[in-house]
């Protein structure tokens, strides 16, 4: 029997065990602090058929190609494709026109330069949308942080702060909005209960299509 590739076990104050198959075809386990490891192992054995099915699906998905940072290569921002264009101008800046225009001065460390650009842009966009939805819903985060997460688009801390991966800003604005609303509702409702989804639906009646888009595009997370 093939070994189940468990990437990590995350212990927290949650009350149930959740198994997640990542876009990297590994398993992440989320479990309460006190549950013994032997119990988690038994659960993985019990769910084995489901896990293997999911892993196979993940492996068959189109994988996002790692960026090579070459002229014309596509970078996604708010659901639009921007071909990379490296210019000779010496400002040392990155600008977005109909292309992602990067000064040649940044070329030696272009990977980090573009990532920093995404983080800054993600902060601007996500902060503005989050404030808008906080006003609409009355759910207000204690803090907002842009993370480097590859596992999840957004998360909610026990202190009422929200984290969003900068990678989210590759997705269309309607999808960014869904992740924001999802996390804002978690400020009041920490689980994925019926009550949680009912509240999400009340705020965003078409959330299912948006959620499906994210599930189909999880490979953007690995970029
Ligand atoms: Zn959630």
Of 3.30.2010.10, 3.40.640.10, 3.50.50.60, 1.20.1630.10, the CATH number of 118-222 is 3.30.2010.10
Read off the pTM.
0.73
- The string of pLDDT tens digits covering residues 205-216 is 999 999 999 988
The C-alpha atoms of residue 114 and residue 112 are separated, in whole angstroms, by 5
Query: What's the 128 CA to ligand 1 centre distance in angstroms?
Result: 21
The pair of three-digit structure tokens given for residue 162, joined into one six-digit string: 């929200």
Cα 67 to averaged position of ligand 1 atoms, centre (Å): 29
Q: What angle do CA 75, 81, 83 make, to 5 degrees?
A: 60
Q: Cα(198)–Cα(193) distance, rounded to whole angstroms?
A: 9
For residue 70, the CA-to-ligand 1 centroid distance in Å is: 36
Q: In 3D, which of 219, 185, 186 has the Cα closest to residue 204? A: 185
pLDDT of residue 98: 96
pLDDT at residue 64, rounded to an integer: 60
CA angle, corner 168, sides to 14 and 180, nearest 5?
Answer: 55
| Cα of 180 from ligand 1 centre, angstroms | 10
pLDDT (tens digit per residue) in 89-130: 878 789 999 999 999 999 899 999 999 999 999 999 999 999
User: Residue 1 C-alpha to ligand 1 middle, in angstroms?
Assistant: 32
Q: Using the structure block, give the residue that is written with the tokens 């101008």.
A: 89
Rounded Cα distance, 215 and 111, in Å: 26
Task: Read off the DSSP letter of residue 133.
Answer: H
In sequence order, the β-bridge partners of residue 10 are 30
Q: Measure the CA–CA gap between 90 and 120, rounded to whole angstroms.
A: 21
For residue range 57-81, list pLDDT tens digits in order: 887 765 566 788 999 999 999 999 9
What DSSP designation does 6 have? Answer: E
Task: Identify the three-state secondary structure at position 59.
Answer: helix
Q: For the chain, where are the alpha helices, taking DSSP H only?
A: 37-46, 48-60, 110-137, 173-186, 194-203, 207-216
Please state the domain extents for the chain: 6-60, 118-222
Query: Which residue(s) pair with 85 in the sheet?
Result: 101
For residue 112, the CA-to-ligand 1 centroid distance in Å is 29
How far is the centre of ligand 1, averaged over its atoms, from the C-alpha of 187 (Å)?
A: 10
């Amino acid at each position: 029997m093939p070994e189940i590739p468990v990437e990590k076990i995350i212990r927290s104050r949650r009350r149930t065990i959740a198994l997640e198959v990542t876009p990297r075809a590994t398993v992440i386990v989320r479990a309460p602090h006190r549950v013994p490891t032997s119990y988690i192992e038994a659960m993985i054995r019990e769910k084995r058929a489901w896990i293997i099915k999911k892993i196979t699906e993940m492996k068959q998905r189109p994988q996002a190609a790692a960026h090579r940072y070459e002229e014309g290569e596509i970078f996604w921002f708010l659901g639009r494709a921007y071909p990379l264009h490296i210019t000779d101008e010496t400002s040392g800046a990155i600008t977005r026109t109909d292309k992602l225009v990067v000064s040649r001065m940044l070329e030696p460390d272009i990977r980090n330069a573009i990532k920093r650009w995404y983080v800054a842009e993600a902060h601007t966009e996500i902060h503005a949308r989050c404030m808008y939805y906080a006003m609409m819903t009355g759910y207000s985060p204690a803090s907002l942080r842009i993370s480097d997460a590859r596992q999840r688009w957004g998360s909610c801390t026990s202190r009422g702060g929200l984290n969003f991966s900068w990678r989210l800003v590759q997705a269309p604005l309607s999808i960014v909005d869904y992740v924001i609303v999802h996390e804002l509702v978690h400020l009041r409702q920490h689980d994925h209960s019926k009550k949680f989804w009912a509240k999400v639906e009340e705020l965003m009646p078409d959330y299912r299509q948006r959620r499906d888009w994210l599930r189909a595009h999880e490979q953007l997370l690995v970029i």
